[in-house]
């Protein structure tokens, strides 16, 4: 082996540092304006009590194997049954994380000869699943229905004969804007296409009972949804909901499901309890939406454009200034993080401010005042 064995890795890190893109781990500190714990469930007593009761009755911490071996526990099956009912789907499958679930879906369901049309701002896990899968894939301009339809029409004109898969997020994680679900479903129907919709940042927050922005379309044969459990639900893992036949196919052909140790049965208990909380405690969702509206008014009064959701981005552009602004806000006691490429496109480094029930209106007012001051002085 020529050269120092770690030299290439050191060079990569030095290159990231020169471009102000080097990342480091930092502890949680200050008021929470960065987490995805939108409903404040992660540390809720009810979730904790449900897990403690499960431990007391002998529920194991580990699943001990894959779902197809000994890892299929009553807790997994109970969660999946409740989730299918709650989301109005034919069936649900529980995965260990949202990232793995997205990757799994797009490497297993779209077949060779199919076309996958992916929104350019969809989550990294969807991009990587598309790249690793068997279907041809193209990127479509963000939330541009004409771009999606043009891609399908062009592919058909060039001889494409398979199925089309349209892949989107319902609420985009770095922009806080929504996919036009009604238009997407109408377009999919015209082209006999499937839709894969990642509800990660909508589940628990938007839609009837927090069922997501695609709730009106769940249960259809051409809709597959992903409901992340590590954001508003306060736990971890992800639920894939869709037609029973496609879920059977995943059990038989989805390698990340077949060959992975099943998620902890205790996490299945926690997610099941979180779904019950969504139904039993609607005030959490109402209070969050009130905070979103309050923050929107505060921002608009200061000439800043609100997103209308619990995700509020402020695009700064340059990496160094973005991180300097974030550091200044952190020094004032507000946990706000800077987001840089490749997570967002080049030239669009930003602050990603998250609104949760872990802060109140007084905290939001203080944060907005600090934001305005720091933006003006940095």
Residues 229 and 288 in one domain: no
Instruction: Express each pLDDT in 275-321 by its tens digit.
Output: 999 999 999 999 999 999 999 999 999 999 999 999 999 999 999 99
In a domain, 51, yes or no: no
Active site residues: 36, 123, 169, 173, 198, 201, 231
Residues 176 and 290 in one domain: no
Residues 247 and 306 in one domain: no
In a domain, 234, yes or no: yes
* Mean pLDDT computed over 350-366: 97
In a domain, 7, yes or no: no
**Single pTM value for the model:** 0.94
Per the structure block, which two tokens stand in for 179? Answer: 């996919």
Q: Using CA atoms of 117, 38, 176, 27 in order, give the dihedral in degrees to the nearest 10.
A: -90
Residues 294 and 149 in one domain: no
pLDDT-derived band at 124 (thresholds 50, 70, 90) equals very high
* Mean pLDDT computed over 86-95: 98
The residue among 246, 280, 314 that closes a domain is: 280
pLDDT-derived band at 371 (thresholds 50, 70, 90) equals very high
Tracing tokens 């802060």 back to the chain, one arrives at 359
Domain range for 351 = 26-41+282-377
Q: Which CATH number covers residue 89?
A: 3.40.640.10
* Residue % of the chain over a pLDDT of 90: 97
The Cα 42–Cα 50 span in angstroms is: 12
Tracing tokens 């140790």 back to the chain, one arrives at 261
In a domain, 323, yes or no: yes
The Cα 283–Cα 306 span in angstroms is: 23
Domains contained in the chain, number: 2
pLDDT value at position 4? 83
The residue among 280, 314, 330 that closes a domain is: 280
Residues 143 and 240 in one domain: yes
pLDDT value at position 26? 86
pLDDT-derived band at 99 (thresholds 50, 70, 90) equals very high
* Mean pLDDT computed over 356-369: 97
In a domain, 14, yes or no: no
In a domain, 1, yes or no: no
Contact status, residue 36 vs residue 97, Cβ threshold 8 Å? no
* Mean pLDDT computed over 102-111: 97
Residues 148 and 291 in one domain: no
Task: Give yes or no for residue 30 having a pLDDT over 90.
Answer: yes
Mean pLDDT of the chain: 96
Instruction: Express each pLDDT in 214-258 by its tens digit.
Output: 999 999 999 999 999 999 999 999 999 999 999 999 999 999 999
pLDDT value at position 233? 98
Residues 66 and 215 in one domain: yes
pLDDT value at position 3? 63
The contacts of residue 362 (CB under 8 Å, 6+ apart) are none
Task: Give yes or no for residue 1 having a pLDDT over 90.
Answer: no
Q: Which CATH number covers residue 305?
A: 3.90.1150.10
Residues 134 and 90 in one domain: yes
The residue among 231, 251, 280 that closes a domain is: 280
Contact status, residue 115 vs residue 164, Cβ threshold 8 Å? yes
pLDDT value at position 2? 58
pLDDT value at position 28? 87
Contact status, residue 238 vs residue 95, Cβ threshold 8 Å? yes
The Cα 145–Cα 326 span in angstroms is: 35
* Mean pLDDT computed over 37-45: 97
Instruction: Express each pLDDT in 237-247 by its tens digit.
Output: 999 999 999 99
In a domain, 209, yes or no: yes
């Amino acid at each position: 082996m020529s050269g120092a064995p770690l030299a290439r890795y050191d060079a990569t890190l030095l290159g990231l540092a020169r471009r102000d893109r080097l990342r480091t781990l930092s502890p949680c500190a200050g008021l929470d304006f960065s987490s995805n714990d939108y409903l404040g469930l992660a540390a809720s007593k009810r979730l904790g009590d449900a897990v403690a009761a499960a431990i007391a009755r002998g529920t194991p911490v580990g699943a001990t194997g894959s779902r197809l071996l000994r890892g299929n526990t009553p807790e997994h099956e109970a969660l999946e049954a409740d989730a299918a009912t709650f989301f109005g789907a034919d069936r649900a499958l529980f995965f260990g994380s949202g990232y793995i679930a997205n990757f799994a879906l797009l490497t297993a369901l779209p077949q060779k000869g199919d076309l996958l049309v992916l929104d350019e701002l969809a989550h990294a896990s969807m991009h990587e699943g598309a790249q690793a899968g068997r279907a041809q894939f193209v990127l479509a301009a963000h939330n541009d229905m004409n771009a999606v339809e043009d891609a399908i029409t062009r592919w058909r004109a060039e001889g494409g004969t398979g199925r089309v898969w349209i892949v989107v997020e319902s609420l985009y994680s770095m922009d806080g804007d929504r996919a036009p679900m009604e238009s997407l479903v109408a377009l999919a129907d015209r082209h006999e296409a499937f839709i894969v919709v990642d509800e990660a940042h909508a589940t628990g927050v938007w839609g009837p009972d927090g069922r997501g922005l695609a709730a009106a379309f769940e249960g259809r044969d051409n809709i597959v949804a992903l409901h992340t459990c590590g954001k508003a639900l306060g736990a971890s893992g992800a639920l894939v909901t869709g037609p029973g036949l496609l879920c059977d196919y995943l059990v038989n052909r989805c390698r990340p499901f077949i060959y992975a140790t099943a998620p902890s049965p205790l996490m299945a208990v926690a997610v099941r309890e979180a779904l019950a909380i969504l139904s039993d405690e609607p005030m959490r969702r109402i209070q969050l939406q009130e905070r979103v509206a309050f923050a929107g008014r505060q921002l608009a009064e200061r000439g800043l454009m609100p997103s209308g959701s619990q995700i509020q981005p402020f695009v700064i552009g340059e990496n160094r200034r973005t991180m300097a602004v974030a550091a200044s806000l952190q020094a004032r006691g507000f946990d706000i993080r800077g987001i840089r490429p490749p997570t967002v496109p080049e030239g669009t480094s930003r602050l990603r401010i998250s609104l949760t029930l872990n802060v109140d209106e007084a905290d939001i007012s203080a944060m907005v005042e600090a934001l305005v001051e720091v933006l003006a002085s940095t």
